[in-house]
Amino acid sequence: MMYTLRQKVVWFAISSRIFVLLAQCVFNAIIPDHDAEDVFRRPILPTKEEKFLDRLVDVLLGGLERWDAQYFLHIAEHGYVYENTLAFFPLFPITVRFLSICLNILTRGLMSYRSLLLITSVSLNTVCFVKAADALFHLSIKVLDNEAWAYKAALLFCINPASIFFSAPYSEAMFVLLSFQGMRHSIDRQYSKLSAIPFGLAAAARSNGVLNVGFIIYCSMKQFISEEWPILSRKRGFKNKLLLPLKIVYSISRLSESCIIALAPFMAYQVYCYVLFCTSQKLYIPEYVLEYGRERNFILPQFSENFTREPDHWCYLPFPLAYSYVQNHYWNVGFLRYYQWKQFPNFILAAPIVFLVLWNSKIYFLQNKKILLNLGLKLGDKTEKSDELHSKMPANMFVFVVHVVFLTIFCMAFVHIQVATRMICSASPVPYWFAGYMLNYRLKSGSSSKTRDPKTLVTSQLKKLQARRSKYGVYKESSLSIELLDNMNSKWQVILLSHTPNSQGKWVLLYFSLYALIGTVLFSNFLPWT
């Protein structure tokens, strides 16, 4: 059976998640856990008995319950009962909680609710990751106009340097899926408020989701300038002079609606935090959860059935945004605050992704100098079709490159720098496009099926492939310009694993695969990899 490139992306995404789950299980078993002091661990009910499958779940998935995963699972189980948990946005833990409540009917008596939360979160992230790989493939085809390049980018996403965070109970997998879906909708010619919905949900999953509103603004401006303005400017007369401001007002109103939809979930969460911690709300907190917070001097909601306190000082600020306060107070996030000699190893860890983004962004802007003058909004701008070897990056990447450059500089200036890798890898398709741009294969003809040019597929076979359709797409001759014929017959085998790339590509694969493996080993044993 011959598979399409889309099918191969989906299967490779699945196989990469299987590898991560197996790797964390093995390394968690053979390497003793690091005794990470002063890290948050979700409180456990002292009298809770271990059920039949709890031990098995811990053996199989316990390596994923590390670092920030503890916060997300705690929020899914108990909600926002500690002030420091407000840094973690609600969409992912709420979804996990809802699914776990539904599944608890089937698993009651077999495993505890805590174990079910872990299984649900990992399963949800696996589904989101696979769908995100598929979304990236389609987004890349639209932007790059090059199926081979899009295919390589999607495969690289499956082994990205922050791979472990897309399987562990973190919000990265859900966020990247929603972001890619929103980007796909925003660049459609038939632009609508559809793109604002996934962007809004993304802003409820991670704080940097608010930056996605830039895609809505840019793409709506580009659509108006390229489609509406030429029509209006060609027509003269009093009627058309009146029509122009009406068209502008209409476009601005549509844009405003979309921006409100995209930003509303973020603002709604900030309002919720204010109401919960700054006003008198009746809230029950289990005694063991309350005691855990007291022992560690955590700030709890202002009023509950078994605890009262005065509102914290951030409640009285002119703009009481809980997120910015919590990041500043608990994680010391601020401009250049992380620039300390003791953090030098973390800067080294983040250096590859920063270099990959900034160096290739420089190349992109040098290749597309004219776009800096018109920001890609030039009237009558025509898209250049990317050649098969993609010697030049397409101008269509402009807004995506600007987004990732801003995000990278922001990470370097404000956040804990070791977070940059997973933040950039989960927020933008550009790192995978840049990596795919550097990764090239020269497939030479030869007698061996493993080294022959995949375009040498005989005509009769090609016609059979082109005649076969599936829900995953249509077989095309272009599909064979990047993938080996033997690999097209396999679900699991891809060119990344079966063929040697150019020298730059070797470094790309080494970086991606090494970070994916080392990150899994360190994370699963509570070693520093956050």
Q: The pTM is what?
A: 0.89
| 227/220 Cα distance (integer angstroms) | 10
Give the DSSP letter of residue 300.
-
Give percent above pLDDT 90 in the chain: 54
Whole-angstrom distance, CA of residue 141 vs CA of residue 144: 5
Query: Taking residues 448-454, what's their average pLDDT?
Result: 39
Q: Where is pLDDT greater, at 102 or 373?
A: 102
3-state helix, strand, coil in the chain (%, to 5): 65, 0, 30
Measuring CA to CA, which residue among 346, 77, 91, 358 is closest to residue 207?
91
β-sheet bridge partners, residue 470: 473
pLDDT at residue number 390:
55
4 pLDDT band (50/70/90 cuts)? confident
At residue 79, does pLDDT exceed 80?
yes
Among 168, 170, 53, smallest CA distance to 114 is for 53
Residue 238 confidence (pLDDT) above 80: no
Q: What is the pLDDT of residue 442?
A: 64
Per the model's pLDDT, the better-predicted residue between 466 and 128 turns out to be 128
The CA-to-CA distance between both ends of the chain, in Å, stands at 41
Task: Name the phi and psi angles at 272, rounded to 5.
Answer: -60, -45
pLDDT digits (tens, 9 = 90+) for 363-412: 999 998 888 887 877 644 454 555 445 568 998 999 999 999 999 999 99
3-state secondary structure of 67: coil
pLDDT mean over 3-11: 90
Check: CB of residue 405 under 8 Å from CB of residue 115: no
Q: What is the DSSP letter of 224?
A: I
Q: Do residues 395 and 120 make contact, with C-beta atoms less than 8 angstroms apart?
A: no
Under the banding of pLDDT at 50, 70 and 90, the label for residue 313 is: confident
- Give the other-Cβ count within 10 Å of 105's Cβ: 7
Residues 6 or more apart from 31 whose CB is under 8 A from it?
521, 524, 525
The neighbour count for residue 188, using CB atoms within 10 Å, is: 13
How many CB atoms neighbour CB 286 within 10 A?
14
> How does strand 469-470 pair with strand 307-308?
unpaired
The percentage of the chain sitting over the pLDDT mark of 70, rounded to a whole number, equals 84
Q: What is the pLDDT of residues 474-524, one digit of tens each?
A: 444 444 457 777 778 777 788 888 787 888 989 999 999 999 999 999 999
